[in-house]
């Protein structure tokens, strides 16, 4: 049914993401009951946002829920003049209502075709609405603002006239910002919000690959859509899901890949679904055609070939991301120079270090770095150090800017040398961020001095007393089997786990910390940058475990100084 937008291979290899599917399903269920809960998914390119939306659509169509209709709009495929966009917006929704994903959507981009098919609804007000849209569109100088307003409101009109509801998926939502380039459109986001506020039978799920831009649209107080959407960040897979995807892909050459092979795939790719796909497909090729053994070393070789080879999937994705991001940044010369400098430093650099390396004033370089953060190439850590958002992109950029690329299969000795060199760089980049945050949390704990704070910072009710600690240190058991980010002794005994990468912390991770805390007679505190799954939050509350997100850790740091 959906093969042309959601190929059978993608459906077969769909892995996990049940949390996000659950959110979308909940939003649809609430819509059926008359409540709109709009969802926005943000994340790196090719991390799986679109696949989540298409899998939700597939499951919805299979379930046959007639009370709520779901329509999927791929905004990058739509024209971005106001007249054509408005026509295709209506056409896309009509296609899903009438065809439910069967056949091609393109005929529905033609106004004459729409007018000929609107009668299939057997509803006079809907025919009149589309005719009025057609009359405006065919004027010598059509009202672009009015056309877009009518297009955005079409789903609500249809839902009201048919007594049903519509769940609308807008993939790569920020693409509509291109409509701001037309003089009649002062703010397309403002227009969208104005229509959305008047709707009661339509709910939206949107996605976007520019994380910084998505945050500006949905999280900044001066944005028209502030507080209207729940923004969720789709991150790489955790270990278990990365293993599952790699294992499924490698079934082409092994019915049961060794655990160390799966572990190396996860380590090299950081759990990014596309990087897993690219690396495992290269592995299949090397094992099948070159008779290579399926070992961790071959995984490393496959990753190097995919990342540095001009035909590699990772190479070409990284190149596209870099070029597309620099195109959106203001100018290219100085941003490229800053990226070249940073690419050579896996642990990142401060503003003054970058300015010194480029021999430019810090004020000018700060602006360049802000531009690079706006287009998602860089981010600034809590310790004021600038790093690449994607560590794999950083590794690629370091070699790309040095001029080292592979145009074919290198000699084995050359490949081994590249693997050894890249592994050294990779190891430094892998460990730096987590270690830095663990150190900061330990320093934060040392500043506890009997302060009274809001218990909500730890997931607790009421006011909370911060105990004084005489000793705060990392802990490793004598047999080396147990490692803890912080063990604190003093007025109370605490054991602390810091998770600063990957997806949200889940119940299994919290259970592990709870068991360690019981073993050591300590109170557990779990700090997670990306937050916790709903089940994990419920588990923490029921067990009395302290838990905090990045935002709460920042508030706590500001309080204790």
The single-letter DSSP state of residue 528 is: E
Nearest to 527 by CA among 544, 507, 511, 551: 551
Chain centre distance of CA 278: 19
- The domain locations on the chain are 8-233, 237-308, 315-402, 435-560
- Indicate the range of 165-174, 310-319, 494-503 predicted with least confidence: 494-503
Distance CA 279, CA 266 (A): 10
Nearest to 137 by CA among 88, 78, 196: 88
What pLDDT, on the 0 to 100 scale, is given for residue 438?
A: 75
Note the CATH architecture for domain 8-233.
3-Layer(aba) Sandwich (3.40)
Q: Mean pLDDT for the chain?
A: 88
What mean pLDDT is predicted for residues 418-434? 60
Summarised one tens digit per residue, pLDDT across range 442-487 is 888 988 988 999 999 999 988 999 999 988 887 766 555 667 888 8
CB 248 within 8 A of CB 13: yes
CATH 3.40.50.11810 is right for the domain spanning 435-560 = no
Distance CA 526, CA 199 (A): 40
Range 207-243 burial, b when 16+ CB lie within 10 A, else e? bbbbbbbbbbbbeeeebbbeebbebbbbbbbbeebbb
Distance CA 142, CA 171 (A): 27
What pLDDT, on the 0 to 100 scale, is given for residue 396?
A: 87
What pLDDT, on the 0 to 100 scale, is given for residue 560?
A: 82
The single-letter DSSP state of residue 420 is: H
Summarised one tens digit per residue, pLDDT across range 184-216 is 998 999 999 999 999 999 999 999 998 889 999
Q: Is 390 helix (H, G, I), strand (E, B) or coil?
A: coil
Give all strands (DSSP E) within 16-105, no chain letters: 38-42, 68-74
The single-letter DSSP state of residue 347 is: T
What mean pLDDT is predicted for residues 43-64? 91
Distance CA 261, CA 246 (A): 9
Summarised one tens digit per residue, pLDDT across range 205-244 is 999 998 889 999 998 899 999 999 999 988 888 888 889 9
Distance CA 125, CA 122 (A): 9
Summarised one tens digit per residue, pLDDT across range 249-259 is 999 999 999 98
Distance CA 301, CA 297 (A): 6
| Domain spanning 315-402, CATH class | mainly alpha
Distance CA 171, CA 148 (A): 18
What pLDDT, on the 0 to 100 scale, is given for residue 494?
A: 93
Given a cut of 80, whether residue 46 has pLDDT beyond it is yes
Given a cut of 90, whether residue 117 has pLDDT beyond it is yes
Nearest to 270 by CA among 238, 312, 295, 244: 238
């Amino acid at each position: 049914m959906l093969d042309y937008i959601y190929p059978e291979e993608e459906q077969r290899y769909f892995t996990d993401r049940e949390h996000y599917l659950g959110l979308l399903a909940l939003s649809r269920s609430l819509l059926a009951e008359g409540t709109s809960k709009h969802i926005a998914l943000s994340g790196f390119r090719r991390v799986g946002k679109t696949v989540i939306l298409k899998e939700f659509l597939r499951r919805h169509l299979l379930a046959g829920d007639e009370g709520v209709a779901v329509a999927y709009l791929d905004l990058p495929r739509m024209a971005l003049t106001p007249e054509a966009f408005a026509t295709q917006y209506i056409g896309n929704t009509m296609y899903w209502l009438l065809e439910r994903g069967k056949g091609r959507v393109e005929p529905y981009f033609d106004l004459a075709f729409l007018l000929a098919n609107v009668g299939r609804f057997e509803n006079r007000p809907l025919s009149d609405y589309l005719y009025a849209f057609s009359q405006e569109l065919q004027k010598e100088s059509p009202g672009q603002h009015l056309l877009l307003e009518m297009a955005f409101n079409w789903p609500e009109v249809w839902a009201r006239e048919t007594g049903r509801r519509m769940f609308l998926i807008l993939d790569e939502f920020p693409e509509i910002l291109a409509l701001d380039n037309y003089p009649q459109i002062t703010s397309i986001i403002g227009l969208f919000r104005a229509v959305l506020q008047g709707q009661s039978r339509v709910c939206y799920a949107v996605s976007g690959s520019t994380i910084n831009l998505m945050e500006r649209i949905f999280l900044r107080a001066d944005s028209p859509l502030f507080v209207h959407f729940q923004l969720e960040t789709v991150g790489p897979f955790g270990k278990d899901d990365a293993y599952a995807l790699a294992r499924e892909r490698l079934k082409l050459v092994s019915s049961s890949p060794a655990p160390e092979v799966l572990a190396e795939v996860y380590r090299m790719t950081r759990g990014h679904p596309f990087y897993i796909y690219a690396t495992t497909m290269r592995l299949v090729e090397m094992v099948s055609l070159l008779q290579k053994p399926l070992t961790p070393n071959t995984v490393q070789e496959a990753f190097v070939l995919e990342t540095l080879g001009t035909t590699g999937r990772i190479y070409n994705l990284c190149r596209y991301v870099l070029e597309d991001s620099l195109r959106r940044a203001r100018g290219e010369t100085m941003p490229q120079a800053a990226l070249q400098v940073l690419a050579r430093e896996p642990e990142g650099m401060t503003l003054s270090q970058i300015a010194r390396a480029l021999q430019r004033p810090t004020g000018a370089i700060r602006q360049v770095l802000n531009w690079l953060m706006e287009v998602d190439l860089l981010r600034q850590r809590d310790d004021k150090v600038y790093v690449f958002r994607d560590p794999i992109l950083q590794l690629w950029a370091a070699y790309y800017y040095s001029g080292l690329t592979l145009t074919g299969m290198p000699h084995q000795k050359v490949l081994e040398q590249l693997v050894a060199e890249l592994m050294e760089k990779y190891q430094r980049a892998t460990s730096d961020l987590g270690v830095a945050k663990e150190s900061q949390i330990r320093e934060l704990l040392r500043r506890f001095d009997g302060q009274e704070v809001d218990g909500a910072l730890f997931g607790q009710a009421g006011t909370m007393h911060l105990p004084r600690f005489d000793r705060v240190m990392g802990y490793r058991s004598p047999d080396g089997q147990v490692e803890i980010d912080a063990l604190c002794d003093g007025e109370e005994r605490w054991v602390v786990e810091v998770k600063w990468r990957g997806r949200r912390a889940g119940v299994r991770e919290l259970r592990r910390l709870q068991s360690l805390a019981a073993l050591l007679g300590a109170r557990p505190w779990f700090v997670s940058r990306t937050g916790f799954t709903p089940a994990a939050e419920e588990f923490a509350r029921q067990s009395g475990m302290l838990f905090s997100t990045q935002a709460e850790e920042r508030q706590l740091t500001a309080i204790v100084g």
